[in-house]
Amino acid sequence: MKKILTALALTTALVMPGTVMARNVTLTGILKNYGGDGAYLAVYITNANGSYVGTLWLAGGKSKYYNSLSHWYRATGGATSGVTAASVGSGRSFQITFDIADALIDSGYQIRIDASVENFRDAPSDIIIPLTSESFGTANSGRRYIRSVFLQ
């Protein structure tokens, strides 16, 4: 379990300490058995227009491959806020926790995950999960490398 604390630049945008209620969220993802090297993943949030808001988590050690996470990369230029982990192997799962302001839920915000695997096709926005009350407690399935993602 990877616990992410409020060191995120993102949190300042999403959480206003003291004034607004925040919700503690656990995101659990499972990858498909695609049979390749470890997947690079970018978990980030977009607003109602689909524009990038902030990065929650990044998996993958070598920054020169970040441009394969193409949607995330073109919004950020590959700049990370320091929350990175090793790439996630085929068939493996990952878990992150973060705080999110109640105000962002049911306001059109989305959690997106870009995925890429060496020698395989890139999967920008492999999964898009709307940040709605209904999304919590249900499994959302991905398109290419992500089998499912569960929010709680």
Q: Applying CB under 8 A, which of residues 2, 23, 92, 121 lies at the interface with other proteins? A: 121
Size, binding site for other proteins by CB under 8 A: 24
Choose one: 6-14, 73-81, 91-99, 130-138; the region binding other proteins (CB under 8 A).
73-81
Under DSSP, the state recorded for 47 is: -
Q: Applying CB under 8 A, which of residues 57, 122, 149, 151 lies at the interface with other proteins? A: 122
Select 11 or 116, whichever has its Cβ closest to other proteins: 116
What is the C-alpha separation between 149 and 152, in angstroms, rounded? Answer: 10
Residues β-bridged to residue 100:
23
Q: Applying CB under 8 A, which of residues 17, 36, 108, 130 lies at the interface with other proteins? A: 36
Asked if residue 75 binds other proteins (CB under 8 A), the reply is: yes
Choose one: 2-10, 11-19, 74-82, 98-106; the region binding other proteins (CB under 8 A).
74-82
Tokens read off for 12: 């300042």
What is the C-alpha separation between 52 and 47, in angstroms, rounded? Answer: 7
Nearest to 121 by CA among 72, 76, 44, 68: 68
Asked if residue 148 binds other proteins (CB under 8 A), the reply is: no
Asked if residue 82 binds other proteins (CB under 8 A), the reply is: no
Token pair 């959480």 in the structure block, residue: 15
Q: Applying CB under 8 A, which of residues 144, 146, 149, 151 lies at the interface with other proteins? A: 144
Tokens read off for 89: 């192997």
Sheet of strand 22-31, all strands in order from the earlier edge strand to the far edge: 2-3, 93-101, 22-31, 146-151, 139-141
Sites of contact with other proteins (CB under 8 A): 35-37, 49-51, 61-64, 67, 70-71, 74-75, 77, 119-122, 124-125, 143-144
